[in-house]
Structure 1
Amino acid sequence: MPRSVAQRFPRAFDAVPEARSFLGDVLKEWKVTDRSDDVVLCLAEVAANAVRHATRSGFVVEVSLDDCRLRVEVHDAGPGVPRPGQPSDDDTDGRGLLIVSSLADGWGVTPHNPCGKTVWTEFKTDQNTTPIGVIPC
């Protein structure tokens, strides 16, 4: 049976570690340990972008697990669609989505009209929600 949980965070930089902690607790509760470091790091990158670019309404983190796929979404009302940067060796930022694309099995952006977006990441995982007796992934 699929699982899903969500939590709202304010537009504040201390919300990023709070979101990381929230996700870490969810992964621990769901016994998803094989990719937890990658998942939490990707969330931190996407949440930091939401704090930097979202409106004052903050952002929502939604986590779902269905069979062998973990999906983490960050919803915000900010304008624009994030794209991976092309930082030079001297740049001190602009690498977040490059990190996400190297660690996640998939990621993307779903724009919302009239404003806002969902940035999502997906991870294949050993954990599944298949009932006992059914062949797992």
Structure 2
Amino acid sequence: MEQLPYKREAFYRRERKSIPAAREFTAWALKDWHAIERLDDVLLCVSEVTTNALLHGVPPGRGFLLHIELCADRTVRVEVHDSGAGDVRLPEPEADAECGRGLLLVAALADKWGVGERDPGKTVWCEFGPPSTTGPNPGLTGGYPPRLSPPRRDKSDSARK
């Protein structure tokens, strides 16, 4: 069995189907690691940061890297690396705006989040600490799930450009 910290990453092209694929990959990794206590929060934040990367951070013909880590203290860290320039900050959307609330959701659901520089581009990350409950994992009944196989992906999705 792998030693903590567990790490997985996948590269996605600049296309709409990358967002659900990134969510599926994240769910697979967290289920495989038996780290599903905050699965819904993590998946919603993965949707938001990967969508932002796709819309604002990935130039045409490029892609983004999703990195997921389960640390020794059971903290889940999600990082999205893109090659686009841009300032990432919490927006102040208008009351009737239909978009622009993604990072507000990330800030509300994640225990920590931030932006790091990389050359080229940036890394947007968020962390989810373990629940403060003691005892058995409330998200699992009847024991742990079996080891899971990774989600199926097109061969073209795994090739970096």
TM range (shorter): 0.7 to 0.9
Please tell me the residue identity of whatever aligns with 1:37: D
Aligned residues: percent identity?
42
**Structure 1 residue 13 corresponds to structure 2 residue 19:** no
TM score, norm. by length of structure 2: 0.75
How far the C-alpha of 1:111 sits from its partner, in A, is 1.3
Structure 2, unaligned stretches of length 5 or more? 132-161
Structure number with the higher strand fraction is: 1
Indicate yes or no: 2:38 matched with 1:32: no
- Per the alignment, residue 42 of structure 1 pairs with 45
Secondary structure in 1 matching 2:79:
strand
Q: Counterpart in 2 of 1:91?
A: 97
For residue 26 of structure 2, give the secondary structure of its aligned residue in structure 1.
helix
Consecutive unaligned residues in structure 1, runs of 5 or more: 127-137
- What count of residue pairs does the alignment treat as equivalent? 125
Partner Cα separation in structure 2 for residue 46 and residue 75 of structure 1: 10
d(CA) in 1 for partners of 2:21 and 2:108?
A: 24
Q: Give the structure 2 partner of residue 59 of structure 1.
A: 64
Q: What's the CA shift string for 1:12-67, capped at 9, x where partnerless? A: 11110000000011111011111000001001000000110212311010001112
TM-score (norm 1): 0.88
Match of 1:121 in 2: 126
Match of 1:79?
Answer: 85
Note the C-alpha offset of 1:84.
1.2
Give the CA RMSD over aligned residues.
1.0
Question: 2-side partners of 1:2 and 1:81: how far apart?
Answer: 30
